[in-house]
């Protein structure tokens, strides 16, 4: 988007960030020797348990001008597709058509991408061929379009895209946003950052890093006009004047407390027994007021769902391996929306305080959801697993004794008499980072994994996984941010070895020691974080401070300065 | 329990409170004229929507000596049963057999109960015949017993208790704790406070107020020895030396981070495919460490489940009407365990800070759990309801238009095209206190309600309700408490009209204006809270501060001073 366009955008008055364009700078490319293989499962992903290599990735701090259309890094499967995308990116670099941003995919490694004007550096150190961490950042323009433009919300069972050798880039999927001359002001601009941590292959992570932002844009398209008109609440029904609804007439402060809990509302607001007839005139008029913010949250939730459905459809055409977590940040109309499905994490460091912006979804944190599903649909457990949890595997000789257990209803523990049934493997097993669902996977939300099965069985993992993110909102305009106030996004490779406090301490110390005018200091702080998490090679292992073990996992970090969010253009 | 017994109890050294015995004091009996009937649904419970009366109850502050065995209030259904229980209480008042505390039920209204030595005042103002709020406080002794003593954890299908006219008091249910001479020191003493807010009748609330503490005691019986030995972690299997387990040998800090998420643990910890054979020797030894605290939480969770199962069994024999919420506080070994199933609330006011000790469970807070169940088991919706949520009832003329909705996966909102299916009544409908499940009930956790059906249909509500409490723990010994630091428990009648801050302000102000040596000040503060929530009659309505409407619901409050929890005996 050109600066002129930016000024004309009405959303600017609502607090759209004016990001500082990044200057060219050749990054330090880390040459991290892989640590000595200690055991077979160092590397990420079940399909690579025999690989002795680990890879480290860091995605540097990204802050960019509205003219920058797209920036990202991925370990795309073929050099040809990379080149093609890069050429597209290069063609786009001087473009003043912001709506095209969403229609092209630009991929490239470190030095390559620097040939594209104004695209920030992305460094992919370590072995990119094995790298299952993927990242994306982009300025996306969602444009008002007819509904039919977006993919249907119910996944189509018969994909029409023809078979291709490369991974999908959205062109065949109706995701390409066309350029419509003279309607720039109708678009809605959002900034987007995302981290995807793949497992059992990088396919899902690569596809999601290329396409998820388009799904978010698609979902937002239906509500562009509503979001741009913050003074009017979202209408319950589109195309209807809000005041024409009879339900709003009685919405004044009424006899609120006088409705007691077991008083049936059936007579009050229409009997449910006659769905095919017009409900009788309600006695209590009630209509829920929905906030604009909720529409963005809903758009992100449904975008994740659509992305997952697309991967399921496309994997019949393309080869899309594995699954991935997804941590996304959308900056729109003065607010940060952090959507997380998986075990990555985002925190805000502000004025020496830490604000948690995500929750990790793991077998432990989602135990009760998973156990409940296994209890409700025992066929999903294939007669091999029990939904009950035990502190360890039950042994045959313990049948008849009393052992600690947890059911889906319990947060505490109790003793039960062990029965034959309890000898089955527990649905949730292990502790902390070792915890697994169905003895297979250690993360319970994300995209892909449609083919993932329990080893040597016909039991699918996918029914237990959720593709739905938890979305947390941070209102940038409600706080004054200093130059050291940042949002840190990281994959679990970072957070497994550093606590929130250690990360905040490291970032704050690093930034405060930099020249405040150095625009690269966020990039360098991100590099510093990654190297802290990796540690140094000593005593036949990678060590971080206090002689703790460094991370053997992929590590990806975004550090996003927040101070620009306070400034009205 | 006598003071001598108390001193001998080994748990004393772990921080058992020495409660100050309350002195006799005639309470002010509130004479609250019922507010003028404004509409048909002022009173609590769907069975009483036509009643013009509301009732106010307050249960005064309760702090009692270990010799006080039981104190409570209920609006028991028959004067005969009240008298009987009162006589039992009277007989017990001089008893030095603490274990009998759990075996008798003492009920009585205000002045009546004052004839029982050391039982604190309980005032039941308003119309007790309509009172669906019930309360209980008691010192309970759980004693070590054979497993067979407690009811089975799977509810029996064939209750053997013979038909009786009065409500069950546990004697026929194996719940009566027998006196075993010379084994006082083997018991585990806990203090217990509970509020039950009934709906559609007081039956479930009355039964739960009489029996729930015994279920907790029963569940704790299995772990008494373990809880009393805080220096040894709970064994995974009972009757086995902890160190004899091979799983613990490798539990030292190991290659924790090196296990990546998709690496199968099947080979690592026993293949799940052969449940009937002894698992192969594990390669990674892992065994979850369970805290003592978790055993108490598990005991409370299972006690609620057993209580609910008992109500279901007993209602075939006794007449047990309606359902009830349950908010319980157990003080055991220096910690407060607050278990909540429903929309009552407990907060701790400490040094001018508020610590939330419970979460309310309502159609809004549990929307996604309920929608998920309706989505998974649509037959529970009886073809009359849809699991989707809309801001208001959908009208036939809106079919084909786009309307706001939420699915079980969503916290945000989005638009969908209205179909015929969406004309069904929403599973969750209404907002705030008006929100209902299946157009019937406004609270989603509690006990009872097994017979509750959607009006004029065969759709049961119970599958959507949960009897499981959320248990929060507060370690009294980790804080120094002043004389004004208290735990406040209240039914929704209180919290509907007063915020946490208003309650904290009112209680703190009241207590600070009292003589610190006045042992009745907590009682008076509870009375003050109830009257604040009720308000005064003005302009044909009950008004509280700022001309807001007072509560028309039952109101029950406990105020429990915390300072005694810090003091070692």
Q: What is the pLDDT of residues A359-390, one digit of tens each?
A: 999 999 999 999 999 999 999 999 999 999 99
**B residues 327-366 lying closer than 8 A (beta carbon) to A:** 343
Residue of B nearest to A403 (CA): B237
Comparing A322 with A285, which gets the higher pLDDT? A322
Confidence of residue B187 (pLDDT cuts 50, 70, 90): confident
Residues A72 and A140 sit within 8 Å (Cβ to Cβ):
no
Report CB contact under 8 Å: A396, B278.
Answer: yes
Alpha-carbon Rg for chain B in angstroms: 25
Confidence of residue A62 (pLDDT cuts 50, 70, 90): very low
In this predicted structure, the answer to whether residue B301 has a pLDDT above a threshold of 80 is yes
In this predicted structure, the answer to whether residue A442 has a pLDDT above a threshold of 60 is yes
| Pick from B199, B305, B431: CB nearest A288 | B431
In this predicted structure, the answer to whether residue A210 has a pLDDT above a threshold of 90 is yes
Q: Does any CB of chain A come closer than 8 Å to the CB of residue B436?
A: yes
Give me the pLDDT at residue A148, please.
Answer: 43
Give me the pLDDT at residue B130, please.
Answer: 55
Q: Which of A251, A260, A465, A555 is best to mutate for the B interface (most B CBs within 10 A)?
A: A260
Comparing B312 with A68, which gets the higher pLDDT? B312
Which phi and psi angles does B103 have, rounded to 5°?
Answer: -100, -10
Shortest Cα distance, chain B CAs vs residue A564, angstroms: 27
Confidence of residue A185 (pLDDT cuts 50, 70, 90): low
d(CA B268, CA B281) in angstroms, rounded, equals 9
> How many pairs of residues across A and B have Cβ atoms under 8 Å apart?
369
Report CB contact under 8 Å: A497, B284.
Answer: no
Q: Which residues of A touch B425 (CB under 8 A)?
A: 266, 270-273, 275
In this predicted structure, the answer to whether residue A92 has a pLDDT above a threshold of 80 is no
Q: Does any CB of chain B come closer than 8 Å to the CB of residue A551?
A: yes
Give me the pLDDT at residue A211, please.
Answer: 96
In chain A, pLDDT over 70 holds for what percent of residues? 61
Q: Which residues of B touch A242 (CB under 8 A)?
A: none
| Pick from B247, B257, B434: CB nearest A392 | B247
Give me the pLDDT at residue A548, please.
Answer: 83
For the range A373-381, what are the long-range contacts, defined as Cβ-Cβ under 8 Å and sequence gap of 24 or more? A373/A463, A373/A464, A374/A408, A374/A427, A374/A464, A375/A407, A375/A408, A376/B376, A376/B377, A377/A463, A377/B376, A380/A459, A380/A460, A380/A463, A380/A464, A381/A424, A381/A427, A381/A438, A381/A459
Comparing B269 with A187, which gets the higher pLDDT? A187
Structure tokens at A531: 């190297």
Comparing B192 with A523, which gets the higher pLDDT? B192
Least confident among A229-233, B78-82, B309-313, B472-476:
B78-82
Confidence of residue A99 (pLDDT cuts 50, 70, 90): very low
Single pTM value for the model: 0.74
Report CB contact under 8 Å: A401, B237.
Answer: yes
Shortest Cα distance, chain B CAs vs residue A100, angstroms: 25
Confidence of residue A517 (pLDDT cuts 50, 70, 90): confident
Report CB contact under 8 Å: B440, A264.
Answer: yes
In this predicted structure, the answer to whether residue B308 has a pLDDT above a threshold of 90 is yes
CA B37 to centroid of chain Cα atoms: 31
Comparing A168 with B93, which gets the higher pLDDT? A168
Q: Which of B262, B344, B389, B431 is best to mutate for the A interface (most A CBs within 10 A)?
A: B262
Give me the pLDDT at residue B564, please.
Answer: 79
Report CB contact under 8 Å: B264, A46.
Answer: yes
Shortest Cα distance, chain B CAs vs residue A99, angstroms: 23
**B374-399 residue pLDDT tens:** 999 999 999 999 999 999 999 999 99
Residues A486 and A561 sit within 8 Å (Cβ to Cβ):
yes
Shortest Cα distance, chain A CAs vs residue B115, angstroms: 36
Give me the pLDDT at residue B147, please.
Answer: 46
Q: Which residues of B touch A296 (CB under 8 A)?
A: 412
Q: Does any CB of chain A come closer than 8 Å to the CB of residue B247?
A: yes
Report CB contact under 8 Å: B396, A343.
Answer: no
Q: Average pLDDT, whole number, for chain A?
A: 70
Determine which helix (DSSP H) or strand (DSSP E) holds B269, and give its type and residue range: helix B266-269
d(CA B190, CA B210) in angstroms, rounded, equals 16
In chain B, pLDDT over 90 holds for what percent of residues? 45
């Amino acid at each position: 988007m050109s600066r002129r366009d930016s000024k004309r955008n009405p959303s600017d008055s609502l607090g759209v960030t004016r990001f500082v364009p990044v200057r060219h700078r050749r990054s330090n490319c880390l040459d991290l020797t892989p640590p000595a293989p200690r055991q077979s499962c160092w590397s990420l992903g079940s399909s690579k348990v025999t690989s002795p290599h680990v890879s480290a990735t860091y995605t540097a701090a990204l802050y960019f001008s509205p003219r920058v259309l797209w920036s990202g890094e991925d370990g795309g499967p073929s050099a040809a597709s990379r080149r093609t995308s890069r050429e597209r990116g290069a063609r786009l670099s001087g473009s003043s058509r912001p709506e095209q941003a969403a229609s092209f995919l630009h991929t490239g490694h470190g030095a390559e991408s620097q040939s594209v004007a104004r695209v920030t550096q992305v460094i992919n150190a370590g072995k990119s061929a094995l790298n299952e961490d993927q990242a994306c950042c982009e300025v996306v323009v969602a444009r008002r379009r007819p509904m039919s433009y977006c993919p249907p919300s119910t996944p189509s069972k018969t994909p029409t895209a023809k078979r291709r050798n490369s991974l999908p880039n959205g062109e065949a999927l109706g995701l390409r946003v066309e350029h419509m001359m003279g309607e720039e002001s109708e678009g809605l601009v959002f900034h987007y950052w995302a981290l995807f941590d793949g497992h059992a292959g990088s396919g899902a992570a690569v596809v999601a890093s290329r396409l998820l932002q388009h799904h978010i844009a698609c979902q937002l398209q239906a509500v562009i006009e509503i979001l741009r008109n913050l003074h009017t609440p979202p209408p319950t029904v589109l195309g209807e004047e809000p005041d024409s609804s009879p339900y709003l007439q009685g919405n004044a402060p009424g006899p609120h407390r006088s409705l007691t809990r077991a008083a049936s509302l059936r007579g009050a607001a229409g009997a449910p027994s006659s769905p095919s007839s017009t409900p009788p005139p309600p006695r209590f008029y009630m209509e829920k007021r929905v906030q604009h913010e909720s529409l963005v949250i809903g758009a992100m939730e449904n975008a994740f769902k659509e992305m997952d459905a697309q991967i399921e459809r496309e994997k019949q055409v393309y080869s899309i391996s594995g699954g991935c977590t997804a941590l996304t940040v959308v900056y729109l109309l003065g607010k940060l929306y952090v959507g997380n499905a998986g075990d990555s994490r985002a925190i805000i460091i502000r004025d020496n305080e830490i604000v948690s912006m995500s929750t990790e979804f793991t077998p432990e944190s989602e135990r009760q959801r998973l156990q409940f599903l296994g209890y409700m649909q025992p066929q999903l457990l294939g007669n091999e697993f029990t939904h009950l949890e035990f502190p360890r595997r039950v042994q045959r000789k313990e049948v008849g004794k009393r052992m600690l257990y947890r059911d889906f209803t319990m947060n505490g523990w109790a003793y039960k008499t062990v029965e034959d049934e309890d000898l089955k493997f527990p649905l949730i097993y292990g502790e902390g980072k070792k915890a697994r669902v169905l003895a297979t996977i250690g993360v319970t939300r994300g995209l892909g994994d449609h083919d993932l099965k329990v080893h040597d069985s016909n039991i699918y993992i996918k029914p237990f996984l959720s593709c739905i993110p938890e979305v947390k909102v941070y209102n940038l305009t409600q706080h004054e941010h200093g130059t050291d106030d940042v949002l840190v996004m990281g994959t679990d490779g970072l957070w497994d070895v550093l606590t929130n406090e250690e990360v905040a301490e490291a970032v704050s110390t690093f930034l405060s020691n930099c020249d405040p005018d150095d625009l690269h200091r966020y990039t360098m702080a991100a590099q510093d974080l990654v190297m802290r998490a990796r540690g140094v090679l000593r005593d036949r292992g990678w060590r971080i401070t206090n002689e703790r073990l460094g991370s053997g996992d992929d590590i990806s970090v975004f550090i996003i300065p927040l101070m620009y969010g306070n400034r009205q253009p």
